[in-house]
């Protein structure tokens, strides 16, 4: 019995994680394409700025050469930071776009339907309060009215979009909020972005 529950939990975790990974890969692909375009534009701008700085260095005295080199390094650091910040904003924006209420209904319904535990009294879904109102009717319509008895929906102000779901009355949860997904994507994109910039 315990082994069946363990297998069931592993299956739910795998399916939930797979759905989130698929969505994350889609978001990551969009973010990569947009990040490459940003990097391309930033490189062109950096090349113009570096070219201008090099002309000034050639004309300046030794003391001004040192100052301009320092300014060039500061510019590149600032540029790298701006690109990194733009990538963060882009990822959050893409995650918000991908986690609209209709998509959330599909994802949550899929997770719950694939949760084969007989006792579904302990499912807690936490999401943004405004999404909660939009989602409640659609989700229970998708799952069937009978499922309403075993599922608790809660609103939480610090969740902008996405959701957290617990199958054990809140003892543990899976985090599919925009911030958690953005952190996951960022961890994978930032090293690649750093390679491109260097």
Per-residue model confidence as pLDDT tens digits over 108-161: 888 877 776 655 667 888 888 887 877 877 777 777 765 667 788 888 888 888
Which among 35, 33, 70, 41 has a CA at the least distance from the CA of 53? 70
Which among 27, 30, 183 has a CA at the least distance from the CA of 100? 27
- Residue 37 reports pLDDT greater than 70: yes
**Which numeric CATH code is attached to 101-177?**
3.30.2320
> What integer pLDDT is reported at residue 118 of this predicted model?
58
pLDDT band at 194 (very low <50, low <70, confident <90, very high): low
> What integer pLDDT is reported at residue 49 of this predicted model?
78
The beta strands (E) that lie in the chain are given as 123-127, 151-155, 162-166, 174-177
> What integer pLDDT is reported at residue 117 of this predicted model?
60
For the segment 28-57, the average pLDDT, to the nearest whole number, is: 81
pLDDT tens, residue by residue, 44-100: 887 887 888 777 766 666 676 677 778 878 887 787 788 778 877 887 788 777 778
Q: In sequence order, what are the residues at sequence separation of 6 or more whose Cβ sits closer than 8 angstroms to the Cβ of residue 96?
A: 160, 161, 178
pLDDT band at 14 (very low <50, low <70, confident <90, very high): confident
> What integer pLDDT is reported at residue 183 of this predicted model?
81
> What integer pLDDT is reported at residue 198 of this predicted model?
65
Residue with tokens 């994507």: 185
pLDDT band at 1 (very low <50, low <70, confident <90, very high): low
> What integer pLDDT is reported at residue 120 of this predicted model?
62
> What integer pLDDT is reported at residue 145 of this predicted model?
63
Q: Phi, psi (5° rounding) for residue 142?
A: -65, -40
> What integer pLDDT is reported at residue 7 of this predicted model?
72
Instruction: Check the CA dihedral 186-107-112-124 and report its sign.
Output: positive
Beta-carbon neighbour count of residue 115 at 10 Å? 18
- Domain boundaries of the chain, sorted by first residue: 2-98+181-197, 101-177
Report the distance separating Cα 94 and Cα 92, nearest Å: 5
Long-range contacts of 114-119 (CB under 8 A, 24+ apart): 114/11, 114/12, 114/15, 114/16, 115/8, 115/12, 115/167, 116/8, 116/11, 116/12, 117/5, 117/8, 117/12, 117/167, 119/150
- Residue 106 reports pLDDT greater than 80: yes
């Amino acid at each position: 019995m315990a082994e069946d529950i363990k297998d069931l939990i592993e299956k739910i975790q795998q399916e939930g994680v797979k759905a989130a990974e698929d969505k994350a890969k889609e978001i990551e692909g969009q973010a990569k394409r947009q990040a490459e375009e940003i990097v391309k534009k930033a490189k062109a701008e950096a090349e113009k700025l570096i070219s201008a700085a090099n002309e000034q260095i050639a004309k300046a005295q030794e003391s001004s050469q040192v100052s301009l080199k320092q300014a060039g390094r500061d510019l590149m650091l600032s540029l790298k930071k701006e690109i990194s910040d733009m990538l963060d904003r882009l990822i959050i924006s893409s995650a918000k776009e991908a986690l609209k209420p209709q998509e959330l209904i599909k994802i949550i319904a899929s997770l719950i339907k694939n949760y084969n535990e007989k006792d579904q009294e302990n499912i807690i879904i936490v999401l943004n309060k405004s999404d909660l109102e939009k989602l409640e009717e659609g989700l229970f319509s998708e799952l069937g009215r009978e499922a309403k008895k075993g599922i608790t929906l809660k609103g939480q102000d610090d969740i902008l979009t996405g959701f957290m779901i617990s199958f054990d009355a809140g003892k543990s949860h899976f985090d599919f909020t925009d911030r958690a997904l953005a952190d996951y994507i960022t961890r994978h994109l930032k090293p690649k972005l750093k390679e491109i910039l260097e």
